Structure 1
Amino acid sequence: MTSTARHPLATCRLLFLAVLALAAMLLSFAAVSYQHQVIEGDSKTVVDFHAFYVAGTLGLEGKVDDSYDIAKMKAAQRAFTGMDVSMPWTYPPPFTLFVTALAALPLGLAYGLFTGLTLLFYLTMLKRIAGDHLPGVMLAMLPVILLTVITGQNGFLTGGLVAMFLLAFGQRKASAGIPLGLMIVKPHLAAAISLLALVERRWQAMFIAAAIVITALLLPTLVFGLSIWPAFLAGVAESSAFLADGEYPLFRMTSIYAAVRSTGLSSDIAFAVHGAGAILTIALLLYGWWRKLPPQLLAASACAASLFVSPYNYDYDLCILGVGIAFVLPDLLQRTRALEQLGLLALCWFGTGYGLVASFAKDADAIGAGNWPLSLMAPPLLLLIALVALALRREVRARAEAHAPSASGAALKRDPAPAT
């Protein structure tokens, strides 16, 4: 009996098609809805992609520096949406140049193309890793997939780039430098994979990544001028102060910092606890590399570490967690019972979906600095990672299947997970 036969839900093509259809329907509805002009007093939802589009529009109008000024960006968002929203812009200038190009298209079309194409890219990378177990990965990541489709965020892009890097890294290809360099759009999410490239001395890949980064930094400088950089640095400093003051929706953040800060403790204490956690995270990743973990486990460890290095991580960034799940799901299913799998799925859904549920449940009149709901994403995610790591140390439950071909064999050559 093969792994595929033992776990029909995780390899169910109908499940894959159902999740894909649901995502496609949401994307189509949102594309039409977002294209509709928002008028004063309209209660229509404003999402993250609106901020992308406003920043891009400012770029087209020659006022790109305004996107990094919180007050001016807020005014521009209100003028565009007709609603009093504040979504500070802190993306590096290369991504600002990208959204400027997107803003040349109508809003609905820009959203549909960006979200649809990045979702396709993400699922393609997951398929290369998980193989027949892709439906199981999509089921585990359902809250994140739906959230990212609804908001039009870039989680599919960053998740796909991390997956692309790890695939090439596992095959010792210099082309791993391409996705590593493109992670300049969100460099704080690339800390773990950059560390792997460094300790493995993948100099060719790092040279390619450096060349891409330099090019990506030069292009917006040529298009927008040198003033883009002081504006960007000032915007980052201003947003850091906002984060310390609790102005951001901490309940949608996945970091240890957000979990501690949302309890009412000071920003200094939260940063200290987070810093200790980030150091421990990096140390554990390096320890796993030093102990020569099997390739799929080291890749999954890098994905897990990526989520807890920066204090500024949101729920849509958890697409990277899906990459880690794709690497270990076949092995995990062989080492756990059905009830355990159900419990892990529930924990995964709670850890990844809490922010989305809290967004709908919160009282819009009561929110603000110090009044956000508790940030309850980091604790269950850490517990999930710990439980999965412990489960992977077990013996394969059915000895007869210990040497069965892996259903995820397209991406990396699998070494058996270590047993206790």
Structure 2
Amino acid sequence: MDRRPKRLKAALGRALLQADWLNRGRALAYCRILGVYGWGLFLSIIVVSHWGTDFEGQPICADFVSFWAASRQVLQGHVAEVYDSAKHHLVELSAFPGLSFGNFAFYYPPTFLLVCVPLALVPYRLSVALFLILTGTLFVRALRWLLPQRWALLPILAFPGLVIGVANGQNGLLTGSLFGWAMVLLAEHPFVAGLCLGGLVIKPQLLVAAPVVLLCARRWRAVAGGICSGLGLIAASWLAFGASGWNGFLRMSHEAQGAFSHGYVQSWKMQSVFAAAHLLHAPAWLAYGAQITAAVSALSLAGWLAAHLRRRVAELGERAVASGQVAVMIAAMPFCSPFLLDYDLACLAFPMGWLLLQAQRTGWWSGEKFVLFLAYIYLLGARLFAELTHVGPTPIICAALLCVLARRIAPDKWSDLKRIILSKTTRLSRRHLETAPVATRGNGGVQA
């Protein structure tokens, strides 16, 4: 009997589950490689740029153009025109004459427009530099608070989510910082942590999991803080921009669906369950059905895990429990919206950091190293992989991250589930063997 398939299976199991090959030295070496590649590519674009445009004639950190143009419109007293895609695009072109760089309409709510208002007080290049330095510093400081070890600085600075957020000139580092500081502050300053989470009304599709987790965790002060900051930002935006701002945003929300259907935001750029199904040529009803199913499942699991963590305070400590609840919140977030891009996933660094801390405390569990390795390196090539293969594996990687979090948080329940699955699998295999046709030898030869 050929034993090579069994040996190959055992070798693959050791490589993926134990991952002994991924020791500390190799992990840091991979971080250096990713950091040199990602930051080197970005710096090369900066070096060859000319007056704010890269070697292809496109604005550097191109997504920031929309933020800067919206600020200029508000400062000139044309708030309603921010949500007029044609007039907004003319302002973008006025900053970069003769260039056409796609549909950069402003799809964000007036709460984020509050953040954008001061951006055009200075020229574009200085504005984008200040914005990215400030949000990047907030992001890195939150991660350093979570992982203060000296060796952790390299993986943090080389993290592809940080590189992508800077290279795109996007707000992923800002939203990631709000998640991160909520994780850092929830144990000792729950109201302030809630203020941070409420600030996510600047990008409300990222906020869906937060109320579910906080309510199931019974973090009432954090809930109060979130309500205060969320409603405060909404009220401030209404006072600043009036009803025209919110009416324009609601109108633009409908146009955003048209932008997607006309290919302005290609499916391979998206990282959601809906986009993954769309890449596989699933009809719209099936893609939306998969998205809704994934969202309900992830939110249900996140709420249950948050409640389960509450019962482990004596074992893990209040700080680990509170940060774990926010880690679950972040890990569930990618399943909650059909509109999700790679820079929105920079916040996954925080649940990855929480898992790393738990592994340092109790040792690595089966599969954790490989899942963290995939989640860490994948973002740098997520768009390119989907464009070349027309397959979007982001939901699978995010699901794996959520599963290893669930096993860490509820190991006893995970063991019970595993035991049930194995027993049912064994029972089914035995039943299949019993009902399979048995070969008997008769006078006429072999009969079934």
Partner AA of 1:68 in structure 2: Y
Match of 2:166 in 1: 149
Within a 5 Å distance, the mapping from 1:94-133 to structure 2 comes to 94-132=111-149
State the 1:393 CA deviation. Answer: 7.4
Aligned residues: 381
Match of 2:63 in 1: 48
Partner AA of 1:134 in structure 2: A
User: Using a 3 Å threshold, how does the CA distance of structure 1 residues 268 and 75 change in structure 2: closer, same or farther?
Assistant: farther
Q: Which moved more, 1:269-278 or 1:52-61?
A: 52-61
Within a 5 Å distance, the mapping from 1:189-204 to structure 2 comes to 189-204=206-221
Within a 5 Å distance, the mapping from 1:118-267 to structure 2 comes to 118-132=135-149, 134-135=152-153, 137-138=155-156, 142-171=159-188, 173-243=190-260, 247-267=264-284
Pick the aligned partner of 2:292 from 265, 269, 275. 275
User: Using a 3 Å threshold, how does the CA distance of structure 1 residues 217 and 287 change in structure 2: closer, same or farther?
Assistant: closer
Is contact 1:77-1:85 (8 Å) kept?
no
Partner AA of 1:168 in structure 2: L
How far, CA to CA, are the matches of 2:202 and 2:338 in structure 1? 17
User: Using a 3 Å threshold, how does the CA distance of structure 1 residues 26 and 63 change in structure 2: closer, same or farther?
Assistant: farther
Q: Which moved more, 1:348-357 or 1:15-24?
A: 15-24
State the 1:158 CA deviation. Answer: 0.9
Partner AA of 1:321 in structure 2: L
Query: Which 5+ residue runs of structure 1 have no aligned equivalent?
Result: 1-5, 363-371, 396-416
How far, CA to CA, are the matches of 2:213 and 2:411 in structure 1? 26
2:352 aligned with 1:325, yes or no? yes
Match of 1:411 in 2: none
How far, CA to CA, are the matches of 1:129 and 1:354 in structure 2? 26
2:92 aligned with 1:65, yes or no? no
User: Using a 3 Å threshold, how does the CA distance of structure 1 residues 313 and 260 change in structure 2: closer, same or farther?
Assistant: same
TM-score norm. by structure 1 comes to: 0.77
Partner AA of 1:311 in structure 2: P
How far, CA to CA, are the matches of 2:178 and 2:265 in structure 1? 26
Q: Which moved more, 1:383-392 or 1:77-86?
A: 383-392
Match of 1:403 in 2: none
Is contact 2:275-2:287 (8 Å) kept?
yes
Match of 2:336 in 1: 309
User: Using a 3 Å threshold, how does the CA distance of structure 1 residues 94 and 335 change in structure 2: closer, same or farther?
Assistant: same
State the 1:252 CA deviation. Answer: 2.2
2:381 aligned with 1:354, yes or no? yes
User: Using a 3 Å threshold, how does the CA distance of structure 1 residues 248 and 23 change in structure 2: closer, same or farther?
Assistant: closer
Is contact 1:137-1:322 (8 Å) kept?
no
How far, CA to CA, are the matches of 2:25 and 2:411 in structure 1? 22
Partner AA of 1:300 in structure 2: A
Q: Which moved more, 1:151-160 or 1:127-136?
A: 127-136
Aligned sequence identity (%): 22
Is contact 1:336-1:391 (8 Å) kept?
no
State the 1:9 CA deviation. Answer: 4.4
Deviations 1:300-342 (A, max 9, x none): 22111012111111101111110111111133465448x9677
TM-score norm. by structure 2 comes to: 0.72
User: Using a 3 Å threshold, how does the CA distance of structure 1 residues 259 and 15 change in structure 2: closer, same or farther?
Assistant: closer
2:316 aligned with 1:298, yes or no? no
User: Using a 3 Å threshold, how does the CA distance of structure 1 residues 352 and 385 change in structure 2: closer, same or farther?
Assistant: farther
Partner AA of 2:152 in structure 1: L
Deviations 1:18-57 (A, max 9, x none): 9889887777776777771559x93566621122112222
SS at match of 1:324: helix
How far, CA to CA, are the matches of 2:69 and 2:379 in structure 1? 28
How far, CA to CA, are the matches of 1:180 and 1:62 in structure 2? 30
Is contact 2:83-2:106 (8 Å) kept?
yes
SS at match of 1:161: helix
How far, CA to CA, are the matches of 1:387 and 1:200 in structure 2? 20
SS at match of 1:50: helix
SS at match of 2:108: coil
* C-alpha RMSD over aligned residues: 3.8
Which structure carries more helix by proportion? 2
Is contact 2:309-2:409 (8 Å) kept?
no
How far, CA to CA, are the matches of 2:86 and 2:199 in structure 1? 29
User: Using a 3 Å threshold, how does the CA distance of structure 1 residues 341 and 137 change in structure 2: closer, same or farther?
Assistant: farther
User: Using a 3 Å threshold, how does the CA distance of structure 1 residues 242 and 37 change in structure 2: closer, same or farther?
Assistant: closer
Partner AA of 2:331 in structure 1: A
How far, CA to CA, are the matches of 2:228 and 2:49 in structure 1? 37
Query: Which 5+ residue runs of structure 2 have no aligned equivalent?
Result: 1-21, 313-320, 417-448
Is contact 2:194-2:224 (8 Å) kept?
yes
Q: Which moved more, 1:273-282 or 1:345-354?
A: 345-354
User: Using a 3 Å threshold, how does the CA distance of structure 1 residues 172 and 215 change in structure 2: closer, same or farther?
Assistant: closer
Within a 5 Å distance, the mapping from 1:282-293 to structure 2 comes to 282-292=299-309
Partner AA of 2:72 in structure 1: T
